[in-house]
Amino acid sequence: MRYLIERIKERVINSVEGAGLKSPEVEVPPEHIKAIFAVPCFKYAKALKKPPAEIARDVVEKISVSFADGLEFFERVEAEGPYINFYADWNAVASRLFHEILEKRDSYGKDDLGTGKRILIDMSSPNIAKPMSVGHLRSTIIGDSLARIFSFLGYEVIRDNHLGDWGTQFGKLLCAYKLWGKKDEIEREGVKALLDLYVRFHQEAEKNPELEEKAREEFSKLEKGDDENRKLWKWFIDISINEFKRIYQLLGVDFELWLGESFYIPMCDDVVRDALEKGIAEIDESGAVVVKLEKYGLPNLIIRKSDESTLYSTRDLATIRYRVEKFDPWKILYVVGSEQRLYFQQVFRVAELLGYATHERLVHVDFGLVRLPEGKMSTRKGRVVFLEDVINEAIERAKKIVVERNPEIQGKDLEEIARKVGIAAIKFADLSQNRVKEVVFEWDKMISFEGDTGPYLQYTYVRAKSIMEKAQQNEVGKAAKLKNVILTEEVEKELVRKLLFFPAVVREASEHYEPHRIASQLLEVAHMFNSFYQNVPVLKAEREELRHSRLKLVESTSIIIKTGLELLGIEVMERM
């Protein structure tokens, strides 16, 4: 798909090339320069034996001649120092842009860039019998947004929930359950009860170290397929998944695959054998299998314990091999916190040494920590926070604000709106910052309808929609027919500029795996729109063509906000 923004850019390139400069670089100038695009001339100085400013002046002169039959998108082209600056004819740009947006509507910005490419996203991946953490929440939110962005751009996306359903901790849990567990309590309390057992195990094991040995035995029985242990283990998984699914449903997130670590156990032996045969791994004096990575500036990676059991790393290597064989993905994204950065460097390196996947194929999309607000909203057990409580708290707070602002909303509608607003608050707080930065959840800031929040964007959308609603149907119909849009205010032009760049921003977000680029663009759109809304009459504009131009601007804005929010996994509504 070539959107207007790309066509304008091409026009810039063609005209500069036409004037004799080869492969010009097109830049978006800094805010204070009002040009839409700029071409720097530094790199031509040497060959042309002229200072860049002179080159710029010459080119502008030639372009002006070649543009004699009309500048199309541009009002003027100017040499300013070493730059050739292209100033948009905003009426011409807006006329075409609105036409494009209003024709494509929800699919404006969509692309076929990813056709034939499959991308697998390893995301969420909480651990069985433990509460889902805020880290897993971030992984879920960021992963889901990336999934939406990539499928919007035509990629085939597979969201894979790589559950932590294997490991020695299950030996402890089995042991604790057999000693102190109560079936009905677990059925009632779910993960909380399982966690209590786990905590109790650690407390008792301090007094009674034999328990550790017992736990190892239980785990080894599980590994060997002992009937009772397998059944219990399956049951722990079901209980946990049930609970996780409640959270996913609140968040509106789904997965194409749920292949937990245990799925890969049968493939692990082969991976270890392979590594030994290829001479990549060796058996150390303790009997463990190790891959030496000093050469690559990395710590060694153990891929089998001395007691022959598998590790997190073994399972991840088997997973990579399986994923590549089964899905042949263009890329596998691991949406996992930065604390595992070093680990993924090791695993990716070993996967490459084994020939399972080149490192370009494996991407660790890392992110920083989340800090939660203190206080009553987090049921704390030790340092554990139950996510569901956090999410429900957001929804409750959202409900209060919605009721305050609009007491007419009640019943089912209220529940639905409160859920959307609460979730928007959480997701936007996460996605509006650079991924690697730490996120701080501050209720009042997150849920406010003012300030840079999800609810603020939802509210801006509602505003735009209400203007559309107020406009008579025939007015909207007539506006649709208006060919030549007229923008009179600076803020309108600025808003058009933001809308124009939207498809480019979506692409950049995918290239860098950074949904926050879309979030920032939306915030700028909303700021401009709200300033437009407050200062420029739409339906009350006297001249019909202004009324219609502005209606088109409003409608185009609403479409971009809706699409952008959807790419972040945030739903909009018609009123709030």
Q: Which residues bind ligand ARG (CB under 6 A)?
A: 122, 125, 127, 162, 164, 316, 319, 334, 336
Q: Smallest distance from the beta carbon of 336 to ligand ARG, in angstroms?
A: 5
Tokens of 136: 């897993």
Q: Smallest distance from the beta carbon of 337 to ligand ARG, in angstroms?
A: 7
Q: Smallest distance from the beta carbon of 140 to ligand ARG, in angstroms?
A: 11
Identity of the residue, 164 or 503, whose beta carbon is nearer to ligand ARG in the bound complex: 164
Tell me the residue length of the chain.
576
Measured between alpha carbons, how far is 88 from 75 in angstroms, rounded to an integer? 5
Measured between alpha carbons, how far is 25 from 217 in angstroms, rounded to an integer? 65
Identity of the residue, 235 or 312, whose beta carbon is nearer to ligand ARG in the bound complex: 312
Show Cβ contacts of residue 311 under 8 Å, excluding neighbours closer than 6 positions.
Answer: 302, 303, 304, 305
Report the relative pairing of strands 118-122 and 331-337 from DSSP bridges: parallel
Q: Find the largest Cα–Cα distance for the chain.
A: 91
Q: Smallest distance from the beta carbon of 410 to ligand ARG, in angstroms?
A: 40
Q: Where are the alpha helices (DSSP H) in 312-453?
A: 312-327, 341-353, 387-405, 411-431, 443-447
Identity of the residue, 313 or 433, whose beta carbon is nearer to ligand ARG in the bound complex: 313
Identity of the residue, 91 or 309, whose beta carbon is nearer to ligand ARG in the bound complex: 309
DSSP 369: -
Report the relative pairing of strands 156-160 and 118-122 from DSSP bridges: parallel
Measured between alpha carbons, how far is 272 from 315 in angstroms, rounded to an integer? 10
Q: Which residue is nearest to ligand ARG (CB)?
A: 164
Q: Smallest distance from the beta carbon of 531 to ligand ARG, in angstroms?
A: 43
Identity of the residue, 33 or 342, whose beta carbon is nearer to ligand ARG in the bound complex: 342
Q: Smallest distance from the beta carbon of 345 to ligand ARG, in angstroms?
A: 13
Q: For the sheet with 118-122, list strands across it.
A: 156-160, 118-122, 331-337, 362-367
Q: Smallest distance from the beta carbon of 173 to ligand ARG, in angstroms?
A: 16
Q: For 45-73, give one letter per residue: b (16+ CB within 10 A) or e.
A: eeeeeeebeebbbbbbeebeeebeeebeb
Q: Smallest distance from the beta carbon of 301 to ligand ARG, in angstroms?
A: 13
Q: DSSP 3-state assignment of 132?
A: coil
Alpha-carbon torsion, ordered 314, 316, 319, 323, to 10 deg: -140
Q: Smallest distance from the beta carbon of 390 to ligand ARG, in angstroms?
A: 17
Identity of the residue, 238 or 339, whose beta carbon is nearer to ligand ARG in the bound complex: 339
Q: Smallest distance from the beta carbon of 546 to ligand ARG, in angstroms?
A: 54
**Count of H-run helices and E-run strands, the chain:** 22, 14
Identity of the residue, 334 or 348, whose beta carbon is nearer to ligand ARG in the bound complex: 334
The residue written with tokens 């003012």 in the block is 450
Identity of the residue, 84 or 318, whose beta carbon is nearer to ligand ARG in the bound complex: 318
Identity of the residue, 67 or 312, whose beta carbon is nearer to ligand ARG in the bound complex: 312
At residue 123, what are phi and psi to the nearest 5 degrees?
-145, 160
Tokens of 234: 């399956």
Tokens of 336: 């996992």
Identity of the residue, 4 or 163, whose beta carbon is nearer to ligand ARG in the bound complex: 163
How many CB atoms within 10 Å of residue 199? 14
Identity of the residue, 125 or 460, whose beta carbon is nearer to ligand ARG in the bound complex: 125
Q: Smallest distance from the beta carbon of 160 to ligand ARG, in angstroms?
A: 9
For 26-69, give the DSSP string: PB---TTS--SEEEE-GGGHHHHTS-HHHHHHHHHHHHHHHTTT
Q: Smallest distance from the beta carbon of 430 to ligand ARG, in angstroms?
A: 17
Angle between helices 227-251 and 191-207 (to 10 degrees): 130
Identity of the residue, 316 or 388, whose beta carbon is nearer to ligand ARG in the bound complex: 316
Distance from chain centroid for Cα 460: 22
